[in-house]
Amino acid sequence: GESVGLHLPTLSVQEGDNSIINCAYSNSASDYFIWYKQESGKGPQFIIDIRSNMDKRQGQRVTVLLNKTVKHLSLQIAATQPGDSAVYFCAETRSLNTGFQKLVFGTGTRLLVSP
Amino acid sequence: DGGITQSPKYLFRKEGQNVTLSCEQNLNHDAMYWYRQDPGQGLRLIYYSQIVNDFQKGDIAEGYSVSREKKESFPLTVTSAQKNPTAFYLCASSASLTEETQYFGPGTRLLVL
């Protein structure tokens, strides 16, 4: 079936390094993608989003890249800080015939940042 | 957590007991959602509501019930029919069902005694 998945369950980096978190999706009809950050014991926090008519979008220290050819999404975090340690989820939206934009989540990647 | 509150933070349920999780939002959002999160897994949709007095089953609605009597509130009841209720429960809201971006509350962890 269709799914949103992640290549690596855990990513360990040193403080100051750049981090890249990857996500694969299988529904070529998806037209909107979101990255969420979830700290331990807390709810997911919106980081950045991108629509399928874009290849790249930048925020503060974060960049999302979308490669529709291979159905791949990545989140790049520049100058990673200890406060970036969390689980990162990608999510895609799938339109139901009711118009409901359903979010489908991947299983998440844990980012560990060492000082 | 963007104006969405959930209570309690931790909840303990005895076997055969129904428990209710609270979710309130002050974002003036029409749509609200409940998700379940198990360790090492993504979020799974339990129920969603696009407007007061209307709600729909998500992917794993069995053993759960909801109500939407007020725009700001969307409580979730975990009934005794839910045989594996231990999980982290997350409430979310969005401006409407056709608005893709959802904002999440801090979550309630439910444990079975």
How high is the pLDDT of residue B101? Answer: 87
Helices (H), A1-115: none
Q: Number of residue pairs across A and B with CB atoms under 8 Å?
A: 56
Q: What value, to the nearest 5°, has the Cα angle with vertex A93 and ends A79 and A30?
A: 95
Q: Over pLDDT 90: what percentage of chain B?
A: 78
How far apart CA A50 and CA A52 sit, in angstroms, is: 7
How high is the pLDDT of residue A85? Answer: 96
Task: Strand B76-78: give its sheet, edge to edge.
Answer: B4-7, B19-25, B76-78, B64-66
Q: Model confidence at A3, in pLDDT bands (50, 70, 90)?
A: very low
Q: Is B101 on the interface with A (CB under 8 A)?
A: yes
CB B92 within 8 A of CB B102: yes
| pLDDT tens digits along A26-57 | 888 888 999 999 998 899 999 999 999 999 99
Q: Is the pLDDT of residue B15 over 80?
A: yes
Are the beta carbons of A43 and B99 separated by less than 8 Å? no
Are the beta carbons of A99 and B98 separated by less than 8 Å? yes
Are the beta carbons of B98 and A100 separated by less than 8 Å? yes
The residue with tokens 């969390």 is: A86
| pLDDT tens digits along B44-95 | 999 999 999 999 999 999 999 999 999 999 999 999 888 899 999 999 999 9
Who among B90, B98, B109 is closest to A101 (CB)? Answer: B98
Q: Over pLDDT 90: what percentage of chain A?
A: 70
Who among A43, A101, A102 is closest to B105 (CB)? Answer: A43
Q: Is the pLDDT of residue B97 over 90?
A: no
Determine the residue of chain A that is closest to B109 in CA distance: A41
